[in-house]
Amino acid sequence: MSDVPETVTADEAAAATAPRRGRPRPQETIQRDEQVLQALGAEGKTREDLVTTTGLTANQVYLSLWRLRKNGQAERSRDNGKHVWKATAPAA
């Protein structure tokens, strides 16, 4: 053993304190979420519109919307009995 204290870089400290739950998200999933976010726009769309626009399955769109909502990038509202999804404004 050495009496010299071990130094920890800022990156190592951040990595040690970052929450690590589950496996890393695959790049394909990240790209799919971005595709759905881009298709949303500020005007908003229904889930069915997003399926048509993106060419993804209804399940893939649903999961992307759920993740985007959880991350604060999308929000859902009701318009004439339908759920309309909109991209939220980026945080300043």
Parallel/antiparallel/unpaired status of strands 74-79 and 82-87 = antiparallel
pLDDT in single tens digits along all 92 residues of the chain: 555 555 555 555 555 555 667 888 899 999 999 999 999 977 889 999 999 999 999 999 999 999 999 999 999 999 888 899 999 976 54
Q: pTM score > 0.85 for this model?
A: no
- CATH class label, 25-87: mainly alpha
The domains of the chain are located at 25-87
